[in-house]
Amino acid sequence: MEPNKIRLALAQINTTVGALDLNAELIIENIQKSRENAVDLIVFPELSITGYPPEDLLFKKQFVNKNIEKLHQIASHTRNIAAIVGFADKTDKLYNAAAILYNGEICGVYHKIFLPNYGVFDEKRYFSSGETLLSMEYRGIKIGLNICEDIWASHGLVESQVYEAGAEIIINISASPFNVGKVKERERILTAHAISNRVIFVYTNLVGGQDELVFDGQSFILDELGEIIELGKPFREDLIISDISVQQLRGTRSEDSGYQDRFQYFKGTYKHDSITLKAEETGEIKPPLPGRKERRLSHIGEIYQALVLGTRDYIQKNGFQKVVLGLSGGIDSALTAVIAADALGNDNVIGIAMPSQYTSDASKIDAQQLAENLGMKLYTIPIAPLFDAYKIALKPVFGSLAEDVTEENIQARIRGNILMAFSNKFGWLTLSTGNKSEISVGYCTLYGDMVGGYSVIKDVPKTVVYQLARYRNSFGNGGVIPDNIIEKTPSAELKPDQKDEDSLPAYAILDPILEAYIEKDMDISEIVGLGFPEDVIKDVIRMVDYNEHKRRQGAPGIKITPRAFGKDRRMPLTNRFRGY
């Protein structure tokens, strides 16, 4: 390898929270693969030994101690290769940390300085903040190290690494969960850092599903001009190997008067530690690397792949093989079934059609056609006899009272019972099929259509459900979701001639109001300013606020928006405040 050049590997791995042995094996496997490719330094994601986020496992001494034991085991596999590995470090306090490993030793440890404590992040619950930056010199190149939030916080940390420690390459290890727009935001922030500080940025992100979070990978390397020179695969494991030269960077810095002028502004901002790794020069010529060309997914493609990955990992990491769901002939259950089939394989998805006297012939045909298109098993269990039995049993009390939402919910709960019977009998995980629009306003039944162990599209607005269905029909064995399912008017079919819009605004109106109120915390006057009628806005807000108790009891599901129900949005159940 020529002077001023280093061969880096970014190990974009899919870890499992708590699986310390498996995670360590995965790390060691990637170290060995990188050594075979003459890699000088391999970089792993944040908390890659523990998995992310480990949450209250961090309160268990045995868990923390074993993760440190695993770090030492990993270090023993670093002969003639350096590695940066994320782990939980325990000294007098607990830290979110990154270790520099080389030739069997732990040569340095960096403690994350900025701890996120918003949205889905609770790091201040567990970790203390570090106080000292860490850099290293390796193969004549100065490299700064930081962790995830350290680059999102605008407190001069990167600048201090560049102007005080002389970093030519900044390595950031991350576990940054996906939501719509996140990828562009990451690139914008890191590009600004790279250009303004004339530094090469190496960003290594986690990939995989963890409960409601999905990590999209898409690790990348930026040069000092902000250009992407390497890009990791989206939503898949990847080992990105690249030869990085700092020769051009040094020339750029020497000619950039703005870079020279900035030195005076970042003196004494942070404390610094530095280590030097002494490379063994063998004189071997490194083998050439194959060319790589990864492309970004489209906006809707990212969402679809996030849903597939999140579904696969939740089911498989929790020990399930097969799933069961109700197939109504509607678009929500159709999309859920297709995502599950793409995640697990057609043979591992079982549908249950449960028609009532209100189910249209078209819905029965659509459910059957979808199952045939997917090649999945479909059972049909009519619920009319069970519904009649309920009405007979309740008649002595209900008497001549008119049927209302009570009877509608009974049908939904009969279906929930049937689904859970299949789940119990065969050990299949039940998938619920509600979308974010319905769940937001409570257009769903507790212990009925909300029943299940996982809710695949719970954070997907109804309008996006249609976009995803059309997207999926555009590739592979296209047209898997019958056109009639996409085109027909949505209905719960719990009473004669029922339509969603009998109870709700049109989804094209409902979804923007929900986004404004839930994701952007806008009040009525602000939403009116978007062009929606005040009376409609008030009705929607009233429904959202009233149904918090339902959402609290729903199954976990995949986060794809910036503000998902759950950790992102934590509203009290007992709450007398009214914003309408």
d(C-alpha 7, C-alpha 42), whole Å: 9
- For 569, counting Cβ atoms within 10 Å of its Cβ (0-12 exposed, 13-18 middle, 19+ buried), the class is middle
**pLDDT for residue 532 is more than 90:** yes
What pLDDT, in 10s, does the model give residues 403-443? 999 999 999 999 999 999 999 999 999 999 999 999 999 99
Total Cβ atoms within 10 A of residue 567: 16
Say if residue 204's pLDDT is above 90. Answer: yes
Is pLDDT at 579 greater than 80 in this prediction?
A: no
Percent of the chain with pLDDT over 90: 81
How far is the C-alpha of 193 from the C-alpha of 43, rounded, in Å? 20
Q: State how far the Cα of 526 lies from the Cα of 503, in Å rounded to an integer.
A: 24
Give the pLDDT score at 283.
Answer: 66
Mean pLDDT confidence for 104-132: 93
* Token duo for residue 119: 């949205």
DSSP reduced 3-state for 154 = coil
CB–CB of 170/199 below 8 Å?
A: yes
3-state SS string for 260-300 = HHHHHHCCCCCEEEEEEECCCCCCCCCCCCCCCCCCCCCHH
The alpha carbon dihedral of 499, 503, 509, 511 has a sign of: negative
Q: Is the pLDDT assigned to residue 1 strictly greater than 60?
A: no
What pLDDT score was predicted for residue 580?
76
CB 30 within 8 A of CB 5: no
Residue 252: pLDDT band with limits 50, 70, 90: confident
pLDDT tens-place string over residues 211-232? 999 999 999 999 999 999 999 9
Q: Which of 139, 142, 238, 232 is nearest to 187 (CA)?
A: 232
Gap between the Cα atoms of 211 and 314, Å rounded: 6
Average pLDDT taken over every residue of the chain: 93
Instruction: Single out the catalytic residue among 70, 123, 148, 230.
Output: 148
Task: Report the chain's C-alpha Rg in angstroms.
Answer: 27
What are the beta bridge partners of residue 23?
A: none
Can you tell me the distance from the alpha carbon of 513 to that of 528, in angstroms, rounded to the nearest whole number?
9
In angstroms, rounded to a whole number, what is the distance separating the alpha carbons of residues 384 and 394? 15
Q: Which of 46, 302, 438, 515 is catalytic?
A: 46
What value does the mean pLDDT take over residues 281-295?
Answer: 79
Q: How far apart, in whole angstroms, are the C-alpha atoms of residue 256 and residue 524?
A: 50
Q: What share of the chain is helix, strand, coil (3-state, %, to 5)?
A: 40, 20, 40
Nearest 10 degrees: CA dihedral of 252, 157, 81, 246? Answer: 0
CA angle, 178 as apex, 522 and 302 as ends, to 5°?
Answer: 100
**112 part of the active site:** yes
Catalytic residue among 70, 112, 142, 322: 112
Backbone angles phi, psi at 143, to 5 degrees: -125, 130
Specify whether 168 is catalytic: no
Report the phi/psi class of residue 399: left, alpha or beta, with left for phi > 0 and alpha for psi in -120 to 50: left
Q: Is the pLDDT of residue 233 over 90?
A: yes
Q: Tell me how far apart the alpha carbons of residues 493 and 359 are, in angstroms, rounded to a whole number.
A: 6
Supply the pLDDT for residue 282.
65
Distance CA 435, CA 417 (A): 20
Average pLDDT estimate for 235-252: 92
pLDDT given for residue 254 in this prediction:
87
pLDDT in tens, 21-54: 999 999 999 999 999 999 999 999 999 999 999 9
Q: Residue 36 has which token pair?
A: 């075979």
**What is d(CA 219, CA 239) in angstroms, rounded to the nearest whole number?**
10
* pLDDT for res 53: 96
The Cα 24–Cα 41 span in angstroms is: 17
Local structure of 133: helix, strand or coil = strand
**Whole-prediction pTM value?**
0.93
Q: SS3 of 102, please?
A: strand
Per DSSP, the residues of 54-65 read -GGGGG-HHHHH
pLDDT at 2 over 80: no
Most confident of 120-124, 287-291, 299-303: 299-303
Query: Is the predicted pLDDT of residue 3 greater than 80, yes or no?
Result: no
Chain segment 355-413, per-residue pLDDT in tens: 999 989 899 999 999 999 999 999 999 999 999 999 999 999 999 999 999 999 999 99
Q: In the predicted model, is pLDDT for residue 478 greater than 70?
A: no
CA 83 to chain centre: 25
What the chain holds in terms of domains, given with CATH numbers, is 5-277 (3.60.110.10), 299-500+548-552 (3.40.50.620)
Asked if residue 509 has pLDDT above 90, the reply is yes
Q: How confident is the model at residue 476 (pLDDT cuts 50, 70, 90)?
A: low
